[in-house]
Amino acid sequence: MSYVEMPGAKVPIRMWADPATVEEGALQQLRNVATLPWIKGLAVMPDVHYGKGATVGSVIAMQGAVCPAAVGVDIGCGMSAVRTSLTANDLPGDLSRLRSRIEQAIPVGRGMHADPVDPGGFHGLATAGWDDFWGRFGDVAEAVRFRQERAEKQMGTLGSGNHFVEVCLDSEGTVWLMLHSGSRNIGKELAEHHIGIAQRLPHNQGLVDRDLAVFVADTPQMAAYRNDLFWAQEYAKYNRTLMMALLKDVVRKEFKKAKPTFEQEISCHHNYVAEERYEGMDLLVTRKGAIRAGSGDYGIIPGSMGTGSYIVKGLGNEKSFNSASHGAGRRMSRNAAKRRFSTKDLEEQTRGVECRKDSGVVDEIPGAYKPIEQVIDQQRDLVQVVAKLKQVVCVKG
């Protein structure tokens, strides 16, 4: 489908979704965003749903301003995937050992490594820039600097919620590795610190929603936020890089006889800010639950823990600010999912997947998400499908 255009106070709202299927709370959030004085464009992805601060599945283009709550608290959250030389024939019938080895190598939930993981200890992992990255930690907000030791130990860890590590098969039976995580607790604390500052600034007091408080260009508050924002986005990128190295290490050891090799990794943020130019304007583009889909850009659009995912290539549609959806998108809240579904439902909907099937992950049940095929179909003018993946192992936080 192409987009549907809805009227907005300052800019039209371009929706790659049927407005009739979007909950009123999300539509109101979008209308609120369209009132911001600095807004230059608003695109809405097919996985759109209500979110804290701003709508998940929204792309907000502003000039001279950025809204920290629209970025969200998991700054730099995103995906990584890599195609391997392994095939379905290389996999054992019982995948529980492989899942256990992954969980031992990559801490989940609130877990962290006992000591910081040395990136220099992995075959083929480029380490240029790591020392400089940690050297810049002394320039982030003073309120979180005492967290460096924890941040270093959480580098290369999964987190919780909808974050995951998966082993997948494509339609040709080739094994892929895929993972989803962000900037862990340090990103959350930086985000909350700056959201609090933004909400107290005088120019934000008349906004329709205090969660839409912005920093504006050429102010010390904006400079401080941009510094911390871009640092946290790098943290998320390095976190995924290190997790993928740990995951590859597990696969090498578990499939020693097959001598697995790995193609170039695909990696994309889906909660972040980028400086981009459209229609002659330099804009700050916030993607909250959206990936960059410029012409030729590779991206990853996951479904749920039982339905599979897509590797895509961007078509460079500037109407969407070169963006596409970041996943299937929730169709019900976590609490609603827990009320509606049982562990028996979870077992049924994740049949054939080696994963947790206990009450702690019922809120991540496939039935709580929109159908991924429908979401992909609604953005055929934004991305081209390269591969469809189906998970056989899923590690949840």
DSSP string, 190-226: HHHHHHHHHHHSGGGTT-S-GGG--EETTSHHHHHHH
The answer to whether residue 339 is domain-embedded is no
CB 365 within 8 A of CB 326: no
pLDDT value, residue 397: 79
The answer to whether residue 274 is domain-embedded is yes
| CATH number of residue 303's parent domain | 3.90.1860.10
Question: Which two tokens mark 298?
Answer: 């590779």
pLDDT of 233 over the 90 cut: yes
Beta carbons within 10 angstroms of residue 133's beta carbon: 14
Crossing angle of helices 220-254/96-105, nearest 10°?
A: 140
Residue (of 44, 6, 76) closest to 375 by Cα position: 44
Torsion of the alpha carbons at 53, 166, 243 and 128, rounded to the nearest 10: -90
Average pLDDT over residues 104-126: 92
pLDDT tens for 177-197 read: 999 999 999 999 999 999 999
Question: Which residues line the annotated binding site for Mn(2+)?
Answer: 74, 163, 180, 270
Least confident piece of the model among 118-132, 185-199, 345-359: 118-132
pLDDT value, residue 213: 97
CA distances (Å), origin 178, targets 113, 170, 227: 20, 12, 29
pLDDT of 51 over the 70 cut: yes
Crossing angle of helices 184-200/220-254, nearest 10°?
A: 160
The answer to whether residue 129 is domain-embedded is yes
Residues of 332-368 as b/e, b for ≥16 C-beta within 10 angstroms?
beeeebeeebeeebbeebbeebbbbbeeebbbbbbbb
Question: Which two tokens mark 3?
Answer: 């987009």
The answer to whether residue 340 is domain-embedded is no
CB 76 within 8 A of CB 64: no
Q: CA–CA separation, 112 vs 110, rounded Å?
A: 7
Average pLDDT over residues 64-72: 95
Q: CA–CA separation, 284 vs 64, rounded Å?
A: 7
CB 261 within 8 A of CB 248: no
As for how many domains the chain has, the answer is: 1
The answer to whether residue 284 is domain-embedded is yes
The answer to whether residue 360 is domain-embedded is no
Domain that holds residue 294: 4-331+369-396
Q: CA–CA separation, 132 vs 120, rounded Å?
A: 15
Residue (of 136, 377, 156, 337) closest to 245 by Cα position: 156
Tell me what the pLDDT averaged over the chain comes to: 96
Which residues sit opposite 281 in a β-bridge? 278
Q: CA–CA separation, 71 vs 214, rounded Å?
A: 11
Question: Which two tokens mark 233?
Answer: 């986005």
What is the bridge-based pairing of β-strands 39-49 and 13-15? parallel
Contacts of 58 (CB under 8 A, 6+ apart): 29, 30, 33, 42, 43, 44, 45, 48, 70, 288, 289, 290
The answer to whether residue 352 is domain-embedded is no
Q: CA–CA separation, 222 vs 236, rounded Å?
A: 21
pTM recorded for the entire structure: 0.95
Q: CA–CA separation, 268 vs 291, rounded Å?
A: 7
How does residue 53 score in pLDDT terms, banded at 50, 70 and 90? confident
Catalytic residue among 49, 193, 194, 326: 326
Could you give the percent of the chain with pLDDT greater than 90?
Answer: 93
CB 223 within 8 A of CB 44: no
Question: Which two tokens mark 23?
Answer: 């909950």
pLDDT value, residue 1: 56
The answer to whether residue 36 is domain-embedded is yes
Taking only Cα atoms into account, the Rg of the chain, rounded to an integer number of angstroms, comes to 20
pLDDT tens for 135-190 read: 999 999 999 999 999 999 999 999 998 999 999 999 999 999 999 999 999 999 99
> Is 326 annotated in the active site?
yes
Question: Which residues line the annotated binding site for GMP?
Answer: 162-166, 270-271, 302-305, 309, 326-329, 396
CA distances (Å), origin 231, targets 29, 191, 358: 28, 12, 36
Question: Which residues line the annotated binding site?
Answer: 74, 162-166, 180, 270-271, 302-305, 309, 326-329, 396
